[in-house]
A and B are shown apart, each in its own frame.
Chain A
Amino acid sequence: MHVAWQPTASLDSLYLRAEILRKIRGFFLARNVLEVETPILGHSCGTDPYLDFFTTSYGLVSESDTLFLQTSPEFAMKRLLCAGSGSIYQICKAFRNGEVGRFHNPEFTMLEWYRVGYNLADLIAEVIELLEYLSVGFLSLSATEQFSYQDVFFEKTGLDSLVFSLERYSAFALNHNHSEALAICGHDHGLWLDFIFSHYVQPALGLSGFCLVYGYPAIQSSLARINQNNPNTVERVEVFFNGIELGNGYYELQDSKEQNQRFDLEIKYRDLTGRPRVVKDDRLLSALEFGLPECAGIAIGLDRLLMILSQNTHIEDVLSFPIARA
């Protein structure tokens, strides 16, 4: 047999992964954040319109049952928070169907943590501490930058991200030789933001250090709570380095009714756009009804962080066996 059996990661890369995992565990141990494990297989899944999941069938019972591979451990971890766990972190595998490329493997490793009593600013400060700590000896960084989504979007494009103007957004795309954006995005403000941000804003973020962008438009709220002072924005933060998205965090939404409405809206959008049906997580909603403590949480893509620390250009360089060899 002559099939490629070797790992795509170098041995150095395997050592680096082990070292970073050790450092992360040390970091949270010193701060009394509890390490937890939650299931990878579940009966329900997220409703994100743009995340595709893997399913498998559970054959123990006579009637076989569909199970979902988690796209993130978020819901299960929030149930632990509701049960009184206090601050927790987890290093686990997450799965997203169809995502493969230089920065994507459908199975990847996530570091996710929640801090009880933290708001978004507290969380951002801790994210910066962790990233700067892990970078020692690997990267010489200039100071971490922070921008609001609206400011950085305006700076790079001259457009207002919070006020949708088909005319201005289209003119910008045409001026940049991307006339196809008009057909792709149509009248969908969220799609326009995704297109313009990923093509013209993100590539310029964090070129000499980590960069955090906060205050996302409310239409990209996901699981973040609405900003009290500026209801057009949500308390969501993303982390970038050298144009690569590294993490996504929220000041977590506590309101179970609002969470349920967002689920239903997303499920409706999924149905409208012909995406596979999802099963809403009623256990999460019940837990939120019981009460989620005030908390902020974030997920960091560990494989990408390892790429950055080792200055590799392809995610395969840090994975033992990427999907093509798995």
Chain B
Amino acid sequence: MAIYSTNEFKSGLKVMLDNDPCAIIENEFVKPGKGQAFNRVKIRNLKTGRVIERTFKSGDSLESADVVDVEMQYLYNDGEYRHFMTPESFEQYQCDAKAVGDASKWLKDQDMCTVTLWNDAPLSVTPANFVELTIVETDPGVRGDTSGGGGKPATLDTGAVVRVPLFVQQGEVIKVDTRTGEYISRVKE
């Protein structure tokens, strides 16, 4: 297991802190007068997603966390677990609801997504930035309305609810930005 000293801390580095895998967001070197130097570090706990601030004495170190992002295909939901597969090796992973988190509402069978593994066990799932999903339910809008304002809620085949323009109809496929949950466009089949 590699050890990283405070002067190697940089954005994106994965380390173990309080027994949880974390990612460094920001690292600021602080030195008061002729005194002890510190590193004030912002860290995201990869299990909970929470961001905390922690100060280290400069020169202190943390163990690296064996955390990797792997592109996988989403296969199916068996009710308790969702199953994913790496397309090259066909290796399969099952994720519980906690690991899948909010990604669940964007996951459609066969779609590609990113599964973050910690010691080869799924830690979290990140959907693709853009997904194409089918509207299963929305009120019929007023035809001819192409204005940007207004809009109406639409339920997608994964269960997600997004606001769409009034002219978009049930049964149509739309493109959504999963980072903001916003409608981008209709997808012509």
Q: Which A residues form the contact surface with B (CB < 8 A)?
A: 48, 50-51, 98-104, 177-178, 180-181, 184, 190-191, 193-195, 197-199, 202, 216, 220, 222, 238, 245, 248
Contacts and interface: CB of A to CB of B under 8 A. Distances in A.
A198 B31 CA distance: 7
A317 to B, nearest CB: 16
Q: Is the interface of A mostly helix, strand, loop or mixed?
A: mixed
A193 B28 CA distance: 19
Given A99-B37, A100-B7, A180-B54, A198 B29 contact: no
Q: When A and B form their complex, which 7 residue pairs have the shortest distance between CB atoms, in order from nearest?
A: A101-B29, A194-B35, A198-B32, A194-B36, A194-B32, A198-B30, A184-B57
B58 interface: yes
B7 A220 contact: no
B55 A178 contact: yes
A220 to B, nearest CB: 7
A222 B37 CA distance: 16
A195 B38 contact: yes
B34 interface: yes
Contacts of A99: 29, 31, 37
18 contacts: A50-B37, A51-B34, A98-B37, A100-B29, A103-B29, A180-B54, A180-B56, A181-B55, A184-B55, A191-B35, A197-B35, A198-B30, A198-B38, A216-B33, A220-B34, A222-B34, A238-B33, A245-B31
B40 interface: yes
Given A180-B54, A181-B55, A197-B32, 10 more contacts: A98-B37, A100-B29, A178-B53, A184-B57, A191-B36, A195-B38, A198-B30, A199-B38, A222-B34, A248-B34
A188 B31 CA distance: 17
Contacts, number: 72
B55 A101 contact: no
Nearest to B27: A101
Contacts of A191: 35-36
Interface string B48-90: 0000111111110000000000000000000000000000000
A256 B37 CA distance: 29
A15 B37 CA distance: 32
Nearest to A71: B34
A102 B34 contact: no
A48 B32 contact: no
A50 B32 CA distance: 10
Contact of B34 (A50, A178, A184): A50
Contacts of B37: 50, 98-99
A177 B53 contact: yes
Interface string B20-32: 0000000011111
Contacts of B35: 50, 190-191, 193-194, 197-198, 220
A245 B28 contact: no
B38 A101 contact: no
B31 A199 contact: no
Contact of A102 (B29, B38, B52, B55): B29
A32 B34 CA distance: 30
Contacts of B28: 101-102
